[in-house]
Amino acid sequence: MKIWVDADACPVVIKSILFKAAEKTGVQLTLVANQLMQIPVSRFIEMLHVASGMDVADKEIIKRLSTGDLVITGDIPLAAEVIENGGYALSPRGELYSEETIRERVQMRDFMDTLRGSGIDTGGPPALNQKNRNDFANQLDKLLTRCVRNI
């Protein structure tokens, strides 16, 4: 298992949790972004800098994804594609997407996109809170524990 991070929009606190998890478990962590980011010096953590552009990072993640890899993303279409390709998708808020839940998320995203396109202000998601951070850390721990057991 490798962990891929859709890093441009990933909150700093979530990256910090991921850095600690990679060091603790020895699982390879790759941040994919179109802007350079500082990462800790580690043999388990790397940065993949991609060109700017619509969905360039997403396409690179899918291109490199192997069955059983984990992708950290809040991007619903990317999460759907990850699941379709045999990976796991976890949101920075701690929601582990599944084949059952991703369809509903895609439909809601498309509906909200339609509303925004018609001029309705739908607002954005609330700020990441402590419960979200805990939910993320707990889901990540469950996935990594399962992965380490299966090696």
97-126 confidence digits (pLDDT tens): 998 887 777 667 666 677 667 777 767 678
For the cut 80, the answer to whether the pLDDT of residue 13 exceeds it is yes
Q: 33-51 pLDDT, tens per residue? A: 999 999 999 999 999 999 9
Q: Are 94 and 134 in contact (CB under 8 A)?
A: yes
Exposure string of 81-109, with b = 16+ CB inside 10 Å and e = fewer, is bbbeeebbbbbbbbbbbeeeebeebeeee
Looking at residue 111, what is its pLDDT? Answer: 65
Q: Which domains does the chain have, with CATH numbers?
A: 2-119 (3.40.50)
Looking at residue 107, what is its pLDDT? Answer: 66
